[in-house]
Structure 1
């Protein structure tokens, strides 16, 4: 039963990590957009940093759950 739980958590964390990656990339594009105003670009850059942190956190958790599901 614990293996199933770990596998489900792995999938969940992987999906959340992918979502954070997509958000990070979108924010990076906004931050680079010379047509956007400075405030918007600065906010997008900050959000990209936050998304990168979330991405790494979810990917680490996914790795832990994947390892636990295998053992």
Structure 2
């Protein structure tokens, strides 16, 4: 039963990782957009950093759940 739970958590973590990656890339593009005002660009840059942290956290959690599901 624990293996099924770990597998489900792995899938959830991978979905969350993909969502964070997409958000990070969008925010990076906004931060680089010279047509956007400076406060929008600064907020997007800050959000991209947060998204990178979330992406990394979910990736590590997914790997842990993947390994736990194997054993």
TM-score category by the smaller chain?
A: over 0.9
Residues 1:20 and 2:15 aligned together:
no
How many Å separate the matches in 1 of 2:19 and 2:46? 17
Gaps of 5+ in 1: none
* Number of positions where the alignment pairs a residue of Structure 1 with one of Structure 2: 71
Partner of 1:59: 59
TM-score w.r.t. length of structure 2? 0.99
Cα RMSD (Å) of the superposition? Answer: 0.2
1:7 corresponding residue in structure 2: 7
Measured after TM superposition, the shift of residue 46 of structure 1 is 0.1
How many angstroms apart in 2 are the aligned matches of 1:16 and 1:2? 21
State the TM-score, normalized to the length of structure 1.
0.99
Deviation at 1:12, TM superposition (A): 0.2
For residues 31-66 of structure 1, the C-alpha deviation after alignment (integer angstroms, 9 at most, x for no partner) is: 000000000000000000000000000000000000
SS in 2 for 1:67: helix
